[in-house]
């Protein structure tokens, strides 16, 4: 059904169809299970290798988040839109607020099965893990961060939302890594036109306030607002 809709909507050449479904979080056929999460088979293998190496250095690499479908991202977006509207924000204010921490469905790198949010199972238990300061100074995730900075690239993994004042888009996320050999291909194939067309066709709540100009600016600032190593 989704595939038929997309093909009709975008008038796509046959060969382009499969990756477009992956890019939008609509295809799960390339995924394998890793604990309670899912990753592309290639990314899962690279992660397993990295996890084994980290373990020998006393770091227990654990996934907090991996693949996320379009549908799941839509639920997150719509739930936040409803909540912020109920708190009295205008529709555009609500969307700006959502974009502090969440993506527009169809634009998340977690749709691809190549991106992971990680923690260290050997660190003291934390109620909140996704706090940048906990990865620096004397924070509980300093050993994890230092190990990843020194070693992740050997396994193909890179930070996406770096601490770089020249970078635009999402805030610094020291827990979010991407498997570059695969993700690089996906980012190169990603076009804002197709994602926008699908987003509009689905009818996401709040989506009426996102027009083509907004989408294009978001694409430049957020989707392309990543570690410069990722878009070379
Ligand atoms: Zn993430």
Query: What is the whole-number distance in angstroms between the Cα of residue 24 and the centre of ligand 1?
Result: 16
Query: What is the DSSP secondary-structure string of the chain?
Result: -HHHHHHHHHT--GGGHHHHHHHTT---TTEEEETTEEEEHHHHHHHHHHHHHHHHTT--EEEEE----HHHHHHHHHHHHHHHHHTT--HHHHHHHHHHH-PPTT--GGGGT-EEEEEETTSPP-S----GGGGSTT-TTHHHHHHHHHHGGGGTEEESS-S-TT--SSPP-TTEEEEHHHHHHHHHH--HHHHHHHHHHHT-TTGGG--HHHHHHHIIIIIS-S-GGGG-
pLDDT, position 34:
97
Distances (CA, A) of 232 to 104, 144, 169, 203: 24, 26, 18, 34
Calculate the alpha carbon distances from 195 to 24, 65, 148 in Å.
7, 22, 32
- What mean pLDDT is reported for the chain? 93
68 Cα–ligand 1 center, Å: 10
Cα(42) to ligand 1 centroid in Å equals 18
Calculate how far, in angstroms, residue 197's C-alpha sits from the geometric centre of ligand 1: 24
Residue 13 CA to ligand 1 center (angstroms) comes to 31
Give the confidence band of 1 by pLDDT, cuts at 50, 70, 90. low
| Nearest-angstrom CA–CA distance, 103 and 93 | 15
- Give 189 Cα–ligand 1 centroid separation in angstroms: 20
Picking from 4-13, 178-187, 199-208, which range would have the lowest pLDDT averaged per residue? Answer: 4-13
Per the structure block, which two tokens stand in for 106? 């169809």
Edge-first strand order for the sheet with 157-159 is 61-65, 115-120, 176-179, 157-159
Whole-number Å distance, alpha carbon 131 to ligand 1 midpoint, is: 12
Confidence of residue 51 (pLDDT cuts 50, 70, 90): very high
At residue 3 the predicted structure's pLDDT band, cuts being 50, 70 and 90, is: low
**What's the CA-to-centroid distance between 223 and ligand 1, angstroms?**
13
Confidence bin at 10 (pLDDT 50/70/90): low
157-159 vs 176-179, strand pairing mode:
antiparallel
Going from the Cα of 38 to the center of ligand 1, the distance in angstroms, rounded, reads: 13
Stronger pLDDT, 21 or 94, i.e. the higher one: 94
Compute the distance from residue 110 Cα to the ligand 1 centre, in Å: 7
Separation of 70 CA from ligand 1 center, angstroms?
Answer: 14
Distance 206 CA to ligand 1 centre (A): 22
Domain segments of the chain as ranges: 2-231
Residue 15: pLDDT over 60: no
**Is 15 or 140 the better-scoring residue by pLDDT?**
140
Residue of 139 and 14 predicted with greater confidence = 139
Q: Does domain 2-231 have CATH number 3.30.1380.10?
A: yes
What pLDDT is recorded for position 11?
Answer: 63
Contact between 170 and 222 under an 8 Å Cβ cutoff? The reply is yes
pTM to 2 decimal places: 0.92
Based on the number of CB atoms within 10 Å of its own CB, is 15 exposed (0-12), middle (13-18) or buried (19 or more)?
A: exposed
For residue 60, pLDDT beyond 60: yes
Express each pLDDT in 16-35 by its tens digit.
556 888 999 999 999 999 99
CB atoms within 10 A of CB 19: 16
| Per-residue pLDDT tens over the stretch 160-170 | 999 999 999 99
pLDDT at 101: 83
CA 101 to centroid of ligand 1, rounded, Å: 10
| Encoded tokens for 43 | 């990314």
**74 Cα–ligand 1 center, Å:** 16
- Alpha carbon of 14 to ligand 1 centroid (Å): 31
**pLDDT tops 60 at residue 66:** yes
Distance 138 CA to ligand 1 centre (A): 23
Out of 4-13, 78-87, 107-116, 161-170, pick the least confident.
4-13
């Amino acid at each position: 059904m989704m595939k038929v809709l997309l093909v009709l909507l975008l008038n796509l050449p046959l060969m382009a169809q499969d990756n477009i479904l992956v890019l939008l979080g609509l295809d799960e056929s390339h995924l394998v299970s890793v604990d309670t999460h899912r990753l592309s088979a290639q990314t899962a293998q690279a992660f397993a290798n990295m996890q084994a190496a980290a373990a020998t250095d006393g770091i227990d690499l654990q996934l907090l988040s991996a693949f996320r479908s379009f549908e799941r991202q839509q639920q997150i977006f719509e739930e936040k839109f409803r909540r912020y509207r109920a708190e009295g924000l205008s529709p555009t204010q609500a969307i700006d607020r959502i974009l502090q921490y969440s993506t527009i469905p169809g634009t998340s790198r977690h749709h691809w099965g190549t991106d992971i949010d990680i923690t260290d199972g050997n660190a003291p238990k934390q109620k909140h893990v996704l706090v940048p300061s906990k990865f620096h100074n004397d924070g509980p995730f300093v050993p994890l961060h230092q190990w990843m900075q020194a070693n992740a690239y050997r396994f193909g993994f890179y930070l996406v939302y770096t601490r770089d004042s020249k970078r635009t888009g999402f805030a610094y996320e020291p827990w979010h890594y991407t498997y570059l050999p695969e993700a690089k291909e996906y980012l190169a194939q990603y076009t804002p036109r197709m994602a926008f067309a699908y987003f509009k066709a689905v009818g996401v709540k709040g989506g009426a306030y996102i027009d083509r100009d907004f989408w294009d600016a978001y694409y430049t600032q957020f989707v392309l607002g990543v570690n410069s190593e990722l878009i070379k």
